[in-house]
Amino acid sequence: MQVLSHSRNGNGVRVGIVVAQFNEIVTDRLQQGAVSQLEKYGVNSADMTIAAVPGALELPRVTKLLANSGKVDGIIALGAVIRGETSHYDYVCSETASGLANVSLNGPVPVMFGVLTTDTLDQAISRAGGKGGNKGADCADGLIEMINLEKQI
Ligand SMILES: Nc1c(NC[C@H](O)[C@H](O)[C@H](O)CO)[nH]c(=O)[nH]c1=O
Ligand SMILES: CC(=O)[C@@H](O)COP(=O)(O)O
């Protein structure tokens, strides 16, 4: 039986962060959480490539471009989609999620889904460094594990 090792060593790992500017009061905190957590694993700021996009729906395209650039070993996609009065929320959430999943499944590097989909701003703030933790930091944890796992396959 071969058991692949469980490693969170980020030394030499190159990470892309693609962050939506829509609801930046939330996404800035997600980005801070991701960067701080990556630094705890030894990822140097010089090995982080950060790209800002207008909104969550633009995340899949830029994530795909970055994934195919050869410049990163994995990507964290960050956003905050907060329900409004119309069905627009549903389309933004579903198309962003499916687009990012497609890039991760069919592209060369793993992509972590760090897009909050909430009914209220308070719910989003809570999950961007509040009582609900920080989804950006959580994505950093998972990305380092995925990169190290895929190196063993
Ligand atoms: N309402 C939210 C959006 N909407 C904008 C879209 O993401 C997109 O930028 C626009 O439809 C143009 O293509 N984006 C978020 O990230 N969060 C929202 O709550
Ligand atoms: C998630 C959205 O697109 C949403 O913020 C848009 O708000 P509204 O449905 O009131 O136009």
Residue 85 annotated as part of some ligand binding site:
yes
Give the pLDDT confidence score for residue 3 in this predicted structure: 95
Task: Please state the pTM of the whole predicted model.
Answer: 0.98
Give the pLDDT confidence score for residue 130 in this predicted structure: 98
Q: Read off the pLDDT of residues 58-78 as tens digits, 9 standing for 90 and up.
A: 999 999 999 999 999 999 999
Q: Read off the pLDDT of residues 109-133 as tens digits, 9 standing for 90 and up.
A: 999 999 999 999 999 999 999 999 9
Ligand 1 neighbourhood includes 77 CB (under 6 angstroms): no
Give the pLDDT confidence score for residue 44 in this predicted structure: 95
All residues at 6 or more sequence positions from 84 whose CB lies less than 8 Å from its CB, including other chains? none
Nearest CA residue ID for atom 1, ligand 2: 89
Residue 58 annotated as part of some ligand binding site:
yes
Query: How many whole angstroms separate alpha carbon 119 and alpha carbon 116?
Result: 10
Which stretches within the chain are classed as H helix?
A: 24-40, 59-67, 88-106, 121-126, 135-151
Tell me the catalytic residues: 88
Query: How many whole angstroms separate alpha carbon 40 and alpha carbon 37?
Result: 5
